[in-house]
Amino acid sequence: MNLPELCIRRPVMTTLITASIIAFGVFGFRLLPVSALLSNLVNFLFAFGVLIIAISLGGWVQYARTVRGSTLVERNKEYVQAARVIGVAPTRIMLRHVLPNVMGPVLVLATIQVAAAILTEATLSFLGVGVPPTSPSLGTLIRIGNDFLFSGEWWITIFPGAMLVLIALSVNLLGDWLRDALNPRLR
């Protein structure tokens, strides 16, 4: 286990273990179904929680910069200044004029990041450091199929790879469609 993985995994696992011990102690003594549910929840969080947190930890910076830049551009446009002059409340200006124009770039960024997160998870699973091998993942399927690529069973690798490309492409196309559908300038 390398240092960055240890730095991320240890506090999360310690918190989850402590919370699960307390929950098992309080609820598990009398409520067996709750105990089983908590056990499954802890297993799920161990498998996917660390990976999701690691992938999304630094993503808020791009959103903050995009929203701030788009808001500064929209704030200085003539229709916003005209609304200020006629006495429209700042909250109404923000919700009615600025927010619809800022949502387009944010939606595109969100869909790009969703596709990038899917590709990151598949890459980590392909390398063997993603989700556990028993969990279904396109990266794991591609890694397993890689052993059979030249033995005549090429479809074991090609179909999960094609599905990964199609998923990433469809998420990006969905983002472009949402941007066009919600763009107030195109209405």
Burial of 23 by CB count in 10 Å (0-12 exposed, 13-18 middle, 19+ buried)? middle
Q: Identify the three-state secondary structure at position 146.
A: helix
Which of residues 132 and 142 earns the better pLDDT score?
Answer: 142
Task: Give the predicted TM-score (pTM) of the model.
Answer: 0.63
Give the closest residue to 168 by CA, choosing from 117, 115, 123. Answer: 115
Q: Average pLDDT of 90-118? A: 85
Contacting residues for 11 by C-beta, under 8 A, at least 6 apart: none
> Is residue 23 pLDDT above 60, yes or no?
no
Q: Average pLDDT of 151-173? A: 90
Domain extents in the chain: 1-57, 59-187
Please say whether the beta carbons of 142 and 157 come within 8 A. yes
